[in-house]
C-alpha cells in the first residue's frame, strides 16, 4: 500500500509547479485589473449617445468640440433667450414657443427652405431631424439645456450640405 501512496504523491504537482501557476494567475489578475481601469476611463469619456441615425449627440459644449474634431459634420451652437422671437441659426430660423424647465422640455418652430416644422414638448438631448433642399442627409437640432424662456444647444449640419450650399451660391455669381 505504501507503494500505491508513493505513486499517487509523485503524480501530484510539486511545490514549484504550484508557485508557477500562482504566479501566472497573479499576472492575469493584474492584466485584468488594468484592462478594467482602462475601460472605465474610456466609458467616462464616451458619455455621448448615438441618435437613431447613428450620429453622436453631444450633451455640452466640450462634447460639441469633440464632435467638431471628428470632422464629419459642422456644428453651430446657439442660445435662444426669449419666447416668440425668431433667431437665425445657420440656415435655419428658430422660434422658441415655450419651455418647461421642471420636465426638461421645450417647444420650437423650425423654418428651413420656407418649410415650417412645429415641435412640441420635446425633451433635452432628443434630436429633431429635418432636411433642407441643399442636403440629402438630415440636419439635427439638439437642445442641451432648458431654462425659463431660454434654450441652449446646437445644430449639426452634414459636410455635404455645407459644400452644396457654398458651391450653389458660388455658381450664381
Do 142 and 121 sit in the same domain of this protein? yes
Which letter does DSSP use for residue 156 in this model? E
Q: Are residues 129 and 167 in the same domain?
A: yes
**79 and 35 in one domain?**
no
> Does residue 65 sit in the same domain as residue 23?
no
In this structure, the answer to whether residues 37 and 17 fall within a common structural domain is: yes
What is the per-residue pLDDT for 162? 47
Q: Are residues 106 and 68 in the same domain?
A: yes
Residue ranges in the chain whose pLDDT is less than 70: 1, 5-16, 38-56, 160-173
Any idea what DSSP says for residue 69?
A: H
Residues 128-138 as b/e (b if ≥16 CB within 10 A, e otherwise) read bebebebbebb
Return the percentage of the chain with pLDDT > 90, whole number.
Answer: 21
* Residue 66 DSSP SS3: helix
Specify whether 61 is located in the same domain as 131: yes
Cα first-last separation, the chain: 106
The 10s digit of each residue's pLDDT in 15-55 is 667 777 777 778 888 888 877 776 665 555 545 555 554 56
Residues 88, 102, single domain; the answer is yes
Does residue 56 sit in the same domain as residue 131?
A: yes
Q: Which domain does 65 fall in, by range?
A: 49-171
Q: Are residues 96 and 149 located together in one domain of the fold?
A: yes
For residues 33 and 55, membership in a common domain is answered with no
Model confidence pTM above 0.75:
no
The number of domains in the chain is 2
CATH number at residue 103: 2.60.98
Same domain, 110 and 128: yes
Amino acid at each position: 500500500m505504501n507503494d500505491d501512496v508513493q505513486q499517487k504523491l509523485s503524480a501530484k504537482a510539486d511545490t514549484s509547479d504550484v508557485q508557477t501557476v500562482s504566479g501566472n494567475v497573479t499576472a492575469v489578475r493584474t492584466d485584468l485589473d488594468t484592462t478594467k481601469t482602462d475601460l472605465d476611463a474610456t466609458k467616462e469619456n464616451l458619455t455621448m449617445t448615438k441618435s437613431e441615425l447613428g450620429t453622436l449627440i453631444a450633451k455640452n459644449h466640450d462634447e460639441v468640440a469633440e464632435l467638431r474634431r471628428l470632422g464629419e459634420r459642422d456644428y453651430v451652437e446657439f442660445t435662444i433667450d426669449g419666447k416668440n422671437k425668431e433667431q437665425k441659426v445657420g440656415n435655419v430660423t428658430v422660434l422658441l414657443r415655450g419651455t418647461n424647465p421642471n420636465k426638461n422640455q421645450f417647444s420650437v418652430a423650425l423654418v428651413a427652405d420656407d418649410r415650417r416644422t412645429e415641435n412640441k414638448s420635446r425633451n433635452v438631448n432628443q434630436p429633431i431631424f429635418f432636411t433642407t433642399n441643399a442636403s440629402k442627409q438630415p440636419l439635427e437640432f439638439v437642445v442641451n439645456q432648458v431654462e425659463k424662456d431660454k434654450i441652449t444647444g446646437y445644430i449639426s449640419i452634414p459636410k455635404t450640405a455645407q459644400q452644396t450650399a457654398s458651391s450653389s451660391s458660388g455658381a450664381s455669381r
